[in-house]
Structure 1
Amino acid sequence: LNVVLSNSTLSGEDGRELCLALNGIVYDVSSGSQHYGKGGGYRLFAGRDASRCLAKGSLDEADIPTLVTDNLVDLTEDEVGTLKGWVQMFSKYPRVGVLEGFISSAAEVEPTKVFAAARSGKTEDLRQALKGDPDWLKDEDKLYDDTGATPLHIAASEGYLECVKVLLESGVDKDILNLASKETPLIGAARGDHAEVLKYLLSLGADPEAKDAMGYTSLIHASMHVSLKVMEELIKGGADATYGDAEGWTCLHWAAAKDTPKSIDKLCQLNALDVDAQDKAGNTSLHWAGKYGNANAYKALVKNKASETILNSEGEAPQLAAEKAHQTDCVIS
């Protein structure tokens, strides 16, 4: 890690307003600005230690520590499990430091040989580990690691197809949930841009509509990460591109928010959804591209016939929404 940070340097005054600390690690959450930026549902956590709040499922200011003396030793077993799930979900964000003086109650567990083999991608080692512990699948302490993941989640998210096959042959459910993040192996494969693993899981009937704890499907993750082949396989496998998350955001809204024009082009090319689909606030993908100043996404949407006249619930067309957000790159004079 690059730096060691104390609570005082998480205040946002040093330009780290889109960083937060979780279980002693400081993450740069700039790519999640729709959650942690102004107006986001988790803005409360920006520049602060969010560990206790996320462990308890709380948005109460009182649960955010002011000193680096909150070592979470009083969390319940369930709360520690929830925290570990958040830690796994935050693996997609860059780590930029550690929280000085922090000691977590969520100590890491020594991985079993099955986990070690799944992480290494060594198929023969995995076969031997399974052979040496034939009852591992019946023991939850061996089936799940301290983040709630199984060896299948790990192999799928790393793209180890042969390991995935071996684990499925051993009896692991293809749609098994991470205990904390609620990810299925398919979601992990989509998030990691592993099309062959994803295709294989779909061929066995893995659910393309499964949602993680944030309400995101495999297709939403693929759209955010510009996983074009994965997106194609998911649509072919029956994924519903019209699904909207808790805010009504479809995969196209997410592609616009992440400024990923290639994802936008692919979704429109597949004719998977209405380019003018509106979220719960009436915003289309074009509105959000404008609000975030994502000029590349804005141009891609216009090229794909997105309407520039649809109004959101505040009576704003996409151009007006961009102007009000001072996003001049998306304002056509």
Structure 2
Amino acid sequence: MNGLGGGRGAAAAVLLVGLAVATACGSGPPPKASGSPSGSASAPAAPAGTSRAGKDLLDAAGRGDATAVKAALAAGAVPSVRDGQGRTPLLLAARGDHVEAAKVLVKAGADPDAQDDTKDSAWLVTGVTGSVEMARILIPAKPDYTVVNRFGGTSLIPAAERGHAAYVREVLRTTSVKVDHVNDLGWTALLEAVILGDGGADHQRVVALLLEAGADPALADREGVTPLRHAERKGQTEIANLLRDA
């Protein structure tokens, strides 16, 4: 995919294809690259011993029913309750981009950093969905921007990969996320935007935003290949020009 030669290049190509499918959202099918919500994130059976109110809260959050969320909380449910995959109500609401339900949960003290069995959290999921509105709901809950997903990445990295330019702009403008954070694969947000992006207008905007925020265009991957070299190999002319001018 990135033009690397030899056996090592073939292995890298396989890795890139796999990553393009298995993105940082963790469990279940990822939301579409457009950032559109993938529908209700229904909760699997809650662990034994979970109260009726807790089960109702998980179900209501997954459906995005803010009124039912309020009712379940009033009946004694706690925001920290988890479903059979370790997901909290706030994480379920974030996955479905259910903003009104998330508002209620944040007001009730829900933790935006609580991670499920696949290391997803409500905050990290916003980088996959690209939901600026959900991010704005969660930021007052003071997420820890150093918490990472199962690939060792912050929310900025999957957002850059998917071309969520509005989200990237919002996060760089309003949070302390590190623009040059390197994930477990040795990639920064800038590298992911080039390697896994399509070179189109959305990814061009993402690259421009990252560079404006101080991303280092010289930070190479583990093979020593820079973002510029990747862009050239993929024929991403506009992005290559942005990187040369940085």
Alignment TM-score > 0.5, same fold: yes
Return the structure number with greater relative CO, CA threshold 8 A, min gap 6: 2
Question: SS at 1:38's partner residue?
Answer: helix
Report how many residues are paired: 208
The answer to whether structure 1 residue 244 and structure 2 residue 182 are counterparts is: yes
Check conservation: 2:130, 2:167, Cα contact below 8 A. yes
What fraction of aligned residue pairs are identical, expressed as a percent?
A: 21
- The structure 2 residue matched to 1:121, chosen from 64, 68, 71, is 64
Cα distance, 1:201–1:304 mapped onto 2, change above 3 Å: same
The answer to whether structure 1 residue 224 and structure 2 residue 224 are counterparts is: no
Counterpart-to-counterpart distance in 2, 1:93 and 1:40: 24
Question: SS at 1:304's partner residue?
Answer: helix
The answer to whether structure 1 residue 109 and structure 2 residue 23 are counterparts is: no
Alignment partner, residue 51 of structure 1:
none
Q: Unaligned stretches of 5+ in structure 2? A: 2-8, 19-23, 33-43, 47-53
Counterpart-to-counterpart distance in 2, 1:90 and 1:244: 25
Which region of structure 1 is more displaced relative to structure 2, 185-194 or 198-207? 198-207
The answer to whether structure 1 residue 278 and structure 2 residue 223 are counterparts is: no
The answer to whether structure 1 residue 159 and structure 2 residue 115 are counterparts is: no
Give the superposition deviation at 1:203.
Answer: 3.0
Counterpart amino acid of 2:62? R
| CA distances 1:243-265 after superposition (whole Å, capped 9, x unpaired) | 11123211111111122432343
Quick check: which one's strand share is greater?
1
Question: TM-score scaled by structure 2?
Answer: 0.73
Counterpart-to-counterpart distance in 2, 1:167 and 1:155: 9
Cα distance, 1:230–1:148 mapped onto 2, change above 3 Å: same
1:151-190 mapped onto 2 (5 Å cutoff): 151-178=89-116, 180-190=117-127
Counterpart amino acid of 1:163? A
Check conservation: 2:231, 2:240, Cα contact below 8 A. no
| CA distances 1:172-208 after superposition (whole Å, capped 9, x unpaired) | 2222122x22122111122112101112222332123
Counterpart-to-counterpart distance in 2, 1:212 and 1:166: 25
Cα distance, 1:305–1:175 mapped onto 2, change above 3 Å: closer
Higher CA-based Rg? 1
Question: TM-score scaled by structure 1?
Answer: 0.55
Check conservation: 1:208, 1:234, Cα contact below 8 A. no
Alignment partner, residue 4 of structure 2:
none
1:65-144 mapped onto 2 (5 Å cutoff): 88-92=26-30, 108-109=44-45, 112-132=55-75, 134-137=76-79, 143-144=81-82
Counterpart amino acid of 1:203? P
Cα RMSD over matched residues? Answer: 2.9
Q: Unaligned stretches of 5+ in structure 1? A: 1-29, 31-36, 47-85, 95-107, 308-333
Question: SS at 1:91's partner residue?
Answer: coil
